């Protein structure tokens, strides 16, 4: 039987795309990476995924797992070239298998959108806290877990790997590992689920997960703060944490250059204050108690001193929507502006200001006139640090000629500060080669050993991560 016929026999003709119909699934969200695929398959069950993987293993066909295709590093699309490969899109696997409000858990399939999971939790008076500021309506849980997504709630709730109790995974030989345990304590050997979270589909295909839920907050407050500089922001973060404790759930840094792009490309947005400032913070606190949260934030800001230039507080999430709209649209505004050299770095929280200062100085010295757009999750040390030329007519050539040099300058500062060149977006194709320079050789050797043990044919998302 022809391999395409075998795929059709497994999932049905309506769930197999080829030719021009497959192309949208072979290009990433940023439009940076495009590849070729024999077909795009849409299984509707774990059993179908297993059968597809067995067919591919028997015929030496590579598999690119895909969810909402919102990867920012080219992990969810096939490679360019002659490699025989398929895209395995899990979007049809979108069932909520179980929800246990008493155990604070939910079991979901990989194709469930993050938005749907959050909504289902709210219907049960619970919270699933993974919150992404960009392209959130389209991203899916399988992709969130495969990239160990971060977002705006990491400060309080942790990354995606901290929000998972169990997994179901189809292994590279087609066997299904059922690790869907809803236990908070299970001390019976290696924690295998952590191998697959953050592996970007290179070790197996996550088909379902048991997620942790939390009490739904009853009260919240968001402060928009104009701050003198990132160094003051670092010190304010420590001050706010000592004042508000675990109720602090978000601490986002936004540069003036970020807002300028939002105002240029996004409709129905406005300046937070009457006058513009160079640096802003969005600070969010929340609690399960009904008590108003704005008083504690106001007291902390007033007691910090003159480096808080101006602030306003909204005592509910609805009142802060206009501020969050600015933050959530930075990535979209950058996309509309054109290509930029993106960095998703992490350093110790105490060194965020040092990173921005050193990286700024290095880039401005090497490339006078360069535009730096810095923003992100300051509360957990993750800054999105993107560079381009302000003149769009010059930018494309600049990036083609200088991306490697810009990356090296930024990554060297990250290395000096004992940071990571990928905080929450993963490696994908974008950083697969660069990581060899900045990760301990022994770590890379261990990663390759695990890859070889689980995927000896090298068919799971080849050309990504390792």
178, β-bridge pairs: 168
Amino acid 135: pLDDT: 57
- CATH code assigned to 219-330: 3.30.70.2190
Please report, for the chain, the start and end positions of each structural domain, with discontinuous segments joined by +. 3-89, 96-215, 219-330
3 state SS of 440:
coil
206, β-bridge pairs: 169
CA distances from 39 to 2, 19, 32, 63, 66 (A): 13, 8, 20, 10, 13
Amino acid 152: pLDDT: 86
- Going residue by residue through the chain, which has 466 residues, state the pLDDT in tens, using 9 for 90 and above: 699 999 999 999 999 999 999 999 998 877 788 899 999 999 999 999 999 999 999 999 999 999 988 887 888 999 988 679 999 999 999 999 999 999 999 999 999 999 999 999 999 999 999 988 765 667 999 999 999 999 888 999 999 999 999 999 999 999 999 999 999 999 999 999 999 999 999 999 999 999 999 999 988 899 999 999 999 999 999 999 998 888 999 999 999 999 999 999 999 999 999 999 999 999 999 888 777 777 888 888 988 888 999 999 998 767 799 999 999 999 889 989 988 899 999 999 999 999 999 999 999 999 999 999 999 999 999 999 999 999 888 888 888 889 999 999 999 999 999 999 999 888 999 899 999 999 999 999 999 999 999 999 999 999 999 8
Domain 96-215, architecture per CATH: 2-Layer Sandwich (3.30)
pTM: predicted TM-score of the whole model, two decimal places: 0.92
Which residues have CB under 8 Å from 439's CB, separation 6+? none
Query: Cα 416–420–422 angle (5° rounding)?
Result: 145
- CATH code assigned to 3-89: 3.30.43.10
226, β-bridge pairs: 280, 310
Taking alpha carbons only, the member of 243, 337, 329 closest to residue 294 is: 243
Taking alpha carbons only, the member of 406, 407, 412, 466 closest to residue 441 is: 466
User: Left if phi > 0, otherwise alpha if psi is -120 to 50, otherwise beta: which for 103?
Assistant: alpha
CA distances from 327 to 2, 68, 122, 152, 212 (A): 50, 22, 23, 10, 26
């Amino acid at each position: 039987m022809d391999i395409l016929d075998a795929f059709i026999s497994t999932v049905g003709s309506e769930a197999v795309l080829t030719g021009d119909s497959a192309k949208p699934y072979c290009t990433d969200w940023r439009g940076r990476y495009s590849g070729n695929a024999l077909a795009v398959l849409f299984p509707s069950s774990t059993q179908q995924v297993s059968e597809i993987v067995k067919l591919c293993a028997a015929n030496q066909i590579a598999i690119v797992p895909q969810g909402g295709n919102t990867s920012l590093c080219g992990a969810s699309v096939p490679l360019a070239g002659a490699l025989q490969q398929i895209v395995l899109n899990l979007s049809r696997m979108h069932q909520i298998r179980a929800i246990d409000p008493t155990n604070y858990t939910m079991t979901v399939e990989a194709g469930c959108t993050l938005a749907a999971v959050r909504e289902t939790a709210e219907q049960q008076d619970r919270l699933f806290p993974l919150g992404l500021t960009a392209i959130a309506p389209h991203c899916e849980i399988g992709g969130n877990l495969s990239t160990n997504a971060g977002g705006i709630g990491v400060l309080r709730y942790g990354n995606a790997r901290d929000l998972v109790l169990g997994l179901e995974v189809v292994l590279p030989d087609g066997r299904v590992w059922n690790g869907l345990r809803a236990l908070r304590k299970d001390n019976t050997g290696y924690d295998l689920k952590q191998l697959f979270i953050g592996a970007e589909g290179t070790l197996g295909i996550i088909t379902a997960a048991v997620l942790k839920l939390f009490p739904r907050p009853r009260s919240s407050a968001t402060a928009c703060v104009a701050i003198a500089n990132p160094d003051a922001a670092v010190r304010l973060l420590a001050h706010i944490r000592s004042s508000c404790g675990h109720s602090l759930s978000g601490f986002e840094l936004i540069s003036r250059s970020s807002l300028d792009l939002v105002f240029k490309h996004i409709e129905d947005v406005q300046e937070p204050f009457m006058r513009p400032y160079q640096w802003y913070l969005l600070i969010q606190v929340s609690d399960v108690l009904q008590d108003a949260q704005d008083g504690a934030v106001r007291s902390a800001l007033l007691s910090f001193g003159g480096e808080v230039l101006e602030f306003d507080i909204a005592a509910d999430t609805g009142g802060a929507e206009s501020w969050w709209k600015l933050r959530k649209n930075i990535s979209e505004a950058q996309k509309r502006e054109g290509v930029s050299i993106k960095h998703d770095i992490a350093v110790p929280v105490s060194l965020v200001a040092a990173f921005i200062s050193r990286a700024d100085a290095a880039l401005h010295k090497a490339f006078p006139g360069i535009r730096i757009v810095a923003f992100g999750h300051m509360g957990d040390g993750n800054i999105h640090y993107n560079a381009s030329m302000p003149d769009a007519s010059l930018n494309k050539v600049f990036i083609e000629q200088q991306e490697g040099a810009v990356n090296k300058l930024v990554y060297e500062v990250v290395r000096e500060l004992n940071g990571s060149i990928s905080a929450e977006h993963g490696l994908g194709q974008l950083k697969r080669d660069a990581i060899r320079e900045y990760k301990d050789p022994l770590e890379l050797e261990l990663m390759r050993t695990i890859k070889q043990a689980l995927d000896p044919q090298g068919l799971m998302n080849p050309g990504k991560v390792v």
